A and B are shown apart, each in its own frame.
Chain A
Amino acid sequence: MAEHKLLVRKLLIICVAMFGFGFALVPLYDVFCRYTGINGKTENIAAPAAKRIDESREINVEFIANRDSGIPWSFAPEVERTSLHPGAVMVVNFDVENLTDEAMIGRAVPSVSPGEAARYFKKIECFCFVEQPLDGRERKSMPVQFYIDPDLPKQFTTITLSYRLYKSTHQTASR
Chain B
Amino acid sequence: MSADNSNTLDARDEHAHAGEHHHKPTGLTRWLFTTNHKDIGTLYLLFSLTMLFIGGSLAMVIRAELFQPGLQFVDPHFFNQMTTVHGLVMVFGAIMPAFVGLANWMVPLMIGAPDMALPRMNNWSFWILPFSFFILLSTLFMEGGGPAAGWTFYAPLSTTYSNDSTAFFVFSVHLLGISSIMGAMNVIVTIFNLRAPGMTWMKLPLFVWTWLITAFLLIAVMPVLAGVVTMVLTDKYFGTSFFNAAGGGDPVMFQHIFWFFGHPEVYIMILPAFGIISSIIPTFSRKPLFGYESMVYATASIAFLSFIVWAHHMFTTGMPVAAELFFMYTTMLIAVPTGVKVFNWVATMWRGAMTFETPMMFAVAFIVLFTIGGLSGLMLAIIPADFQYQDTYFVVAHFHYVLVTGALFGIISGVYFWIPKWTGVMYSERLGQWHFWCSLVSVNMLFFPMHFVGLAGMPRRIPDYALQFADMNAFISIGGALFGLSQLLFVWGVVRCIRGKGEKATTQVWEGAQGLEWEIPSPAPYHTFQTPPQVK
Contact = CB atoms under 8 A, between A and B. Distances in A.
29 contacts: A4-B118, A4-B189, A7-B189, A8-B185, A11-B188, A16-B223, A18-B223, A19-B223, A19-B226, A21-B224, A21-B227, A22-B224, A22-B227, A22-B260, A26-B242, A26-B257, A40-B318, A41-B250, A107-B246, A115-B318, A116-B320, A164-B245, A168-B246, A171-B239, A171-B247, A172-B239, A172-B241, A172-B247, A175-B241
A22 B245 contact: no
Q: Which 9 A-B pairs have the closest CB atoms?
A: A22-B227, A166-B246, A172-B247, A19-B223, A18-B223, A22-B224, A171-B239, A175-B247, A11-B185
Interface residues of A, number: 39
Interface of B: 117-118, 181, 185, 188-189, 192-193, 219-228, 231, 239-242, 244-250, 252-253, 256-257, 260-261, 318-320, 323
Main secondary structure of the interface of A (DSSP, over half): helix
Contacts, number: 99
Contacts of A173: 247
A173 to B, nearest CB: 8
Nearest to A171: B239
Contact of B256 (A29, A164, A171): A29
A45 interface: no
Given A107-B246, A116-B320, A19 B189 contact: no
Interface string A105-130: 00101000101100000000000000
Interface in A1-57: 3-4, 7-8, 11-12, 14-16, 18-19, 21-23, 25-26, 29-30, 33, 36, 38-41
Given A19-B223, A21-B227, A25-B257, 17 more contacts: A4-B193, A7-B193, A11-B188, A15-B222, A18-B221, A18-B223, A19-B224, A22-B224, A22-B257, A25-B256, A25-B260, A38-B319, A38-B320, A38-B323, A109-B245, A171-B247, A175-B249
Contact of B246 (A12, A33, A39, A68): A68
Nearest to B321: A116
B220 A18 contact: yes
Contacts of B249: 175
Nearest to A106: B246
